[in-house]
Amino acid sequence: MFKKSMAFVVMAILLVVLAGVGCGSAPASPTAAPATKAPTAAPAAPAATKAPAAATAPAAAPTQAPAAATKAPAAAAPATDFPTKAITIYCGSAAGSPVDVMAREMAKHMEKILGKAVVVETRSGGSQAELLLEIQQGKPDGYSLATYTTSTVGALAGTLKARMKPEDFDFLVEVQLDPYCLAANSDSQFQDLKGLIDYAKQNPSKVKVAGFGTGSGHHLALLELQQKSGAKFSWVATQGGSEAVAAALGGHVDVAHSNPSGVSEQVEAKKMRVLGVAASKQIAILPGAKTYKEQGVDMTAAQWRGIGAKAGLPAPVKAKLIDTVQKVMQDKDFQTYMKNTAQEAGERSGDAFQKAVLAEFEMTVSTMKELGLTK
């Protein structure tokens, strides 16, 4: 009986199974959409996590933008590549003059640092007028430099005042300081400063003194000597210190107003005699030459010389030029040249130098008015 019952149950199960196979849609529903399959489709929702990734893609775009921004300076900066061609230093004094020698020494050493040619061209006409017009009419790109000196300030305060102003120019680095001196032909009747002053007091305007420019540093220094000594001289303007020395050697004038470096060779050759040096102490390259103070005139005066350009230089170019000139000043060979010509190193550069020149300009304008050189 039990066996019959079991056989009956088995047959019933078989009938149920056969019925399920005959109706293919029924079993498909449990296997096609089990609840566990939905979760597996949900993790496919990492496609949803793809959307955030796509959302972060725009964020990647901003990170690209800053990179482009950092590229901009390089694109806008031929400045960083400066210089890409030769540089010219225009010199406002005649060939062979102390400022011309400085320019050529500077050019020689700048070439080594910058890796480009640096040439010197003379623009000595019109007591700095030719030089300053060359720079004023050029571009503020750093490829046209100039030798600026105390005489530059004198020209801007005097003969060129109506045409230009110191703010038109960038005064970059003060390179050297060079005291003034008076020298005469070795055959001259004048032996020292005291004898020269005594004669000039007794013979007003008869003594001819040659020096660079009208209203220049040299000219103003002689006018100061007149004021402090009571003597009166006749000024003969030349286009450079070397021309003033040549005029004295040739007997065309009585005295040259120059600098120690401008007369030392002639003194050593015994062709000239130094009458006095406007320095605080005696100069090694002019042994035995007395200072103005040692001869009773309480006065010191020196000419500064420097390198500059037209105003408006791009900041990176300006910084590179200042750095280059200062590196030249630290070069041992350049320092040997400075020592051999009795030059003192300048200390001012950049904004400090610019401000000092502007202050000197105002003072020079006032002095020229007092001396009757300008209105």
- pLDDT exceeds cutoff 80 at 39: no
Structure tokens at 349: 């550069």
Which sign does the torsion angle of CA 140, 175, 159, 362 carry?
Answer: positive
Query: Span 41-66, mean pLDDT?
Result: 39
pLDDT digits (tens, 9 = 90+) for 308-337: 999 999 999 999 999 999 999 999 999 999
Torsion angle of C-alpha atoms 152, 157, 160, 163, degrees rounded to 10:
120
> Do residues 262 and 238 make contact, with C-beta atoms less than 8 angstroms apart?
no
Q: How far is CA 308 from CA 85, 102, 242, 248, 326, in A?
A: 18, 13, 22, 31, 13
Return the amino acid letter for 325: V
- Domains observed in the chain: 80-178+303-370 (3.40.190.150), 181-300 (3.40.190.10)
pLDDT, tens digit, 9 for 90 and up, residues 181-239: 999 999 999 999 999 999 999 999 999 999 998 888 999 999 999 999 999 999 999 98
Mean pLDDT of the chain: 83
Model confidence at 5: pLDDT above 80: no
In whole angstroms, give the CA distance from residue 280 to residue 265.
Answer: 22
- Give the pLDDT confidence of 131-161 residue by residue, as tens digits: 999 999 999 999 999 999 999 999 999 989 9
How many Cα atoms sit within 13 Å of 225 on the Cβ side? Answer: 34
Q: pLDDT, tens digit, for every residue of 258-307?
A: 999 899 999 999 999 999 999 999 988 999 999 999 999 999 999 999 99
- Greatest alpha-carbon span in the chain: 169
Lowest-pLDDT range of 58-67, 81-90, 98-107: 58-67
- 345 CB neighbour count, 10 Å cutoff: 13
Residue 101 has phi, psi (to 5 degrees) of -65, -40
Amino acid at 4: K
**How much is the pLDDT for 3?**
40
Q: Which of 207, 157, 150, 200 is nearest to 179 (CA)?
A: 150
